[in-house]
Structure 1
Amino acid sequence: MLPPGPSSPGIWQMRQWFRDPVGFMEGNGDRYGPVFAVKLGALKRCAFIADPAVAWQVLSGDPASFRMGPTNRIFRPVLGEGSLFLLDGEEHRHHRRLLTPSFHPRAVRGYAGLIEEIAAREMAGWRVDEPFALQRPMRRITTESIVRIVIGVCSPERDAEIRDLVREMLAIAENPLALMPQFQYELGGRTPFGKVMNVTRRIEAILHEEIGLRRLLRPDERGADVLSALAGPAPHEDGFMSDREIRDECMTMLIAGHETTANALSWAFERLLRHPVIHDRLLAELDGGDDGYLDAVVRETLRQRPVLPITARRISGAQEVGAFTFPAGWTLMPCFYLIHHDPEVFPEPDRFRPERFLEEPKPSSRVFLPFGAGSRHCVGSHLALMTIKTVIRVVLSRAVLEADPEPEPIVRNNMTLAPGRGATAVLRGRRGTAVARGVPSRAR
């Protein structure tokens, strides 16, 4: 038996998903229940899963039966065949083992000073009493951070070039047609896909040049960046990556590693500024040197505003999942957004209440899923959490911000959920310093 779902044409459902993802998820969930079948454009056989137990069955299932790689094929022209996003089985495990040391909590802590410096420098250009979208400076902070962490210190010109190319890539990819398989024609760079591929090749050329340079360095000459670690001699029995594999993984981290974090930061500030009691408690605890409440605020933000609303697995054979039997080839989509807003799982889900992550029992990793779960749990989750906490700490210690009174709708931004007005705020002053008016703005 297959789950129920809307009978409207796939192109119409895709349009609804792109225009109002939250309305699409909630409307179908209310009408058809926690497991419902949908058609998203050419993808005719897929099911959203908002039942936590059923979702966990998919997320923790045998990776050979529940495969993620095929669901990400749309990104292959940009990320490459060797991207962690597209690999399954032993290849995925091999790449993950090689990447994990660079994202271990000990390694991640070493990047905190860099991120503090980047965030403080970015804030210097914010102007007083003028509304601006926080999402823009958050993107600049996370773009520069991920470029420095992944590629290391190049020349200032090279760093700026890579940052500009990454931003250009994501701006083009906001067009929902840019990477759809049926529209993947370059036509001399005149189509959205052609423009994406032009930028991809420019980033690729830089990456291959940097990989070649790192291969020539002695171990004591290499930096702490991810590229240097991957291009070095094999650190253990897991072996090494080819130049092409390193290119693919670095491209994946550059493209996917900052947009999600930037949107999570934007939501964190949007939530905090609209909840002054929580904001003031956080500020007081940070002043006292306690990060416990900060961690709870970040987790509650990721619960209420999960940047990635779904994940996907393609089943390689017929599977009994929950009360349903799915034939081979179906795409099953655990829906983090609906699970995070299930009142049976998170009481008062629409209330922003960080205390739920301080009280016992704390939410289980089977229902709190901002970074996925199982063998596909985000390899960069520690870096993302550290970045979010570091930037919040820097901004709150230096800025007096006020929320714009207009509401922030939840909109689709590439593959993520983002504030529809960019988390608009107003800088009212700077903590501990007089604020000069008329400073040129880079935040607008």
Structure 2
Amino acid sequence: MAPTPLLGSRTLDRQTARTLPPGPRWPTLVQSLLFANHRKTFFPRMRAKYGDVFTIRLVPASRVCVVLSRPEHIREVFGSSPAVMHAGEGNTALEPIMGPSSLLLLDDDDHVRMRRQLMPAFTGPALRGYAAMVHELAVAEVASWPTGTPFAMHQRMRNLTLEIILQVIFGVTDVDRLNTLRPLLDKIVSVSPVLMLGGFYPPLLRIPPWRTFLRAQQQVDEILFDEIARRRGNLAGRNDVLSRLLGAGEWTDAELRDQLVTLLLAGHETTATALAWAFHELARRPDDLAFGQHAADTGADRELEAIVKESLRLHPVVYQVGRRLTETTDLAGYRLPRGTTLMAAIGLVQRDAQHFPAPATFRPQRFLTDPPPAPNTWLPFGGGARRCIGAGFSLMEGTEILRAALTTHHFHANPTPEPAQAKNVTLVPKQGATLTATPRQPPAPL
């Protein structure tokens, strides 16, 4: 099926423009820079000025993006037919990095087929099988942390989540291969919006820094294809994600490679950042730290998971998710033309006092109440047919890492919260979530 043309400078006529939701008239480049670097303040200001639905224009082609911040409108987006609300078309800039078979780039029947093949690796029993592996890696990482000296938790979490991807998702255990992959994958996961422009402007891929990035990517691909070839027909005793995928579906090597790189890029920086924010909040709040330590000591997984969920609410790692309309659609009181990009503003919803009392306060207990937060108000993994397939893995991973750290350490940090700054598609702690760790007495056996 031919891709849906973007609604933008080449396809938007003046009459249609007058029927769109209101929004700033600033140049596209200005709006794009504000979106890329300051969306945490840009979006709230636009909502305050223009209302719960507003329009911005972004590169490329001055594309029309309608931003939604009311749960009922977002519910309609997530609940509509995926054939009308294309998510894959909104991610085309990622194709040179993730590959054409990436779950994030597919729509319609191709997306359904690929998601069905991925699901067996992310069921409840599968996640329980990974938990011990994650915990073992987390214990080893925590044991290496300095004590009594400030350090940046965000980088430590990046190191750990990369190791989890290497060993639990890719299933790589050979020491030499791990040593080769670590620096190469670090280059891949550090891809910037500038490098992503290569997806819109392919000629850029022939010059530095795009050419340098592609060279690293090719080296990673060679290792992944070799790993896939070694694994086929040799799955006995293997419990990693790649082995489960090979055992449960019919895959080409290229399809598997694209899913592995997608899991790397979607699950590395996002999980590391969410956990860095969680430790940042706990280190600044003795009562919440004690709550978390008691949960870790007593095996209260629901409470540990609530800490991860509250971190994702208060500090949304991904501020918005997008869809492209494949046909003209009535939504939020507007008739939106085919090709419009819709943005569900996760960050605006999760910081709304109407849905979360005292929204600027870190309060994990809000996820332990009955009833829990209303549907479509907590959206870190998106929703509907495109909800992140790795959501359960991410929450399990966060729970195991918190358990490993909180049973053995106290944490202290400056009471003044660190501001967030944009890094690629995520919002990270500006000082790296700097804190100090000190040992604590291990809990008595239960």
- Give the structure-2-normalised TM-score: 0.91
Aligned to 1:399: 409
Which runs of structure 2 are paired with 1:272-311 in the superposition (5 Å)? 272-311=282-321
Output the CA distance in 1 between the equivalents of 2:139 and 2:296.
17
**Which of 213, 221, 228 does residue 211 from structure 1 map onto?**
228
Provide the secondary structure at the position in 1 that maps to 2:55: strand
Output the CA distance in 2 between the equivalents of 1:281 and 1:243.
46
Output the CA distance in 2 between the equivalents of 1:271 and 1:241.
42
Provide the secondary structure at the position in 1 that maps to 2:31: helix
Q: Does 1:382 align with 2:392?
A: yes
Which runs of structure 2 are paired with 1:18-417 in the superposition (5 Å)? 18-42=36-60, 43-171=62-190, 173-174=191-192, 176-180=193-197, 181-182=199-200, 184-186=202-204, 190-191=208-209, 193-217=210-234, 219=235, 221=236, 223-232=238-247, 235=248, 240-417=250-427
Deviations 1:284-334 (A, max 9, x none): 233233233222222211111111111000000111111111111010000
Output the CA distance in 2 between the equivalents of 1:335 and 1:364.
16
Deviation of the 1:215 alpha carbon? 2.2
Output the CA distance in 1 between the equivalents of 2:120 and 2:103.
15
Output the CA distance in 2 between the equivalents of 1:36 and 1:84.
29
Please say if residues 343 and 349 of structure 1, whose CA atoms lie closer than 8 Å, have aligned partners that are also in contact. Answer: yes
Structure-2 change in CA distance of 1:187 and 1:373 (3 Å): closer
Query: What amino acid maps onto 1:200 in structure 2?
Result: Q
Provide the secondary structure at the position in 1 that maps to 2:356: coil
Provide the secondary structure at the position in 1 that maps to 2:410: strand
Deviations 1:54-82 (A, max 9, x none): 11111111100000011100000011110
Deviation of the 1:84 alpha carbon? 0.1
Please say if residues 265 and 388 of structure 1, whose CA atoms lie closer than 8 Å, have aligned partners that are also in contact. Answer: yes
Q: Does 1:14 align with 2:32?
A: yes
Please say if residues 112 and 386 of structure 1, whose CA atoms lie closer than 8 Å, have aligned partners that are also in contact. Answer: yes
Deviation of the 1:373 alpha carbon? 0.5
Deviation of the 1:360 alpha carbon? 2.1
Deviations 1:155-185 (A, max 9, x none): 11112222221112223x23x3111145544
Structure 1: stretches of 5+ with no match in the other structure: 434-444
Please say if residues 139 and 404 of structure 2, whose CA atoms lie closer than 8 Å, have aligned partners that are also in contact. Answer: yes
Deviations 1:317-365 (A, max 9, x none): 1111111111110100001110101111112211222222122221133
Provide the secondary structure at the position in 2 that maps to 1:46: strand
Please say if residues 35 and 50 of structure 1, whose CA atoms lie closer than 8 Å, have aligned partners that are also in contact. Answer: yes
Deviation of the 1:430 alpha carbon? 4.3
Deviation of the 1:101 alpha carbon? 0.9
Deviations 1:91-142 (A, max 9, x none): 1111111111111121111112221221221222222222111011111111
- Give the structure-1-normalised TM-score: 0.91
Output the CA distance in 2 between the equivalents of 1:272 and 1:306.
17
Query: What amino acid maps onto 1:27 in structure 2?
Result: R
Please say if residues 98 and 261 of structure 2, whose CA atoms lie closer than 8 Å, have aligned partners that are also in contact. Answer: yes
Please say if residues 65 and 343 of structure 2, whose CA atoms lie closer than 8 Å, have aligned partners that are also in contact. Answer: yes
Compute the RMSD of aligned alpha carbons. Answer: 1.8
Aligned to 2:13: none
